[in-house]
Amino acid sequence: MDYIHLRDMQFFGYHGVLKEENVLGQRFRVSVTLALKTEKAGISDNLEDTVSYVGVYDICKDIVEGKPFKLIEAVAESIAKKVLTDYEGQVFGVKVEVIKPDPPIPGHYKEVAVEIVRGHYHE
C-alpha cells in the first residue's frame, strides 16, 4: 500500500457545542492520509493515474468551512466518507485528523484533536 499525505491544512469554521463557537467561529487544522496504489502514476507520470490532492483539499475545505457540526468527530467522519465515496476504487482507506487548536476549555493544553481511520488502511 502507498500513501498520499495532506498535512496541516488550515481552515476557519463554526463547529462546536457552545453557541459562541457557532457565532464567532475558529481555526481548524486537518491532516488526511490516503491509502492507495501509486505505482502506475509513478511509472506514467500522469495525474489521471492517481488521486489529485487538490480535489482532496477541496473536500476538506468545503466540509470544514461549510455546514456547522457540533463535534469535530462529525467533521472528520464527513471528510472520510466523502473521500472514500468520491475516489471509490482508487482510495482504499483514509486517515483523518481534525485539530481544534483553541477550544473554549479552561486550562493549559496545546490543542484537542480527533483522528479516525476508515476503509482498508494499514500503516
Q: Where are the domains of the chain?
A: 2-119
- As a whole number of angstroms, the distance between CA 56 and CA 62 comes to 10
112 or 105: which leads in pLDDT: 112
Could you tell me the three cell numbers for 27? 481555526
Average pLDDT, the chain: 94
CATH for 2-119?
Answer: 3.30.1130.10
pLDDT in tens, 25-41: 999 999 999 999 999 99
Q: Which of 37, 95, 100, 110 is catalytic?
A: 100
Could you tell me the three cell numbers for 91? 482510495
Query: Structure pTM?
Result: 0.94
Known active-site residue 100: yes
CA 114 to chain CA mean position, Å: 10
Residue 60 has pLDDT above 80, yes or no: yes
Strands (E), the chain: 2-13, 26-36, 91-100, 112-119
* pLDDT at residue 19 in the model: 87
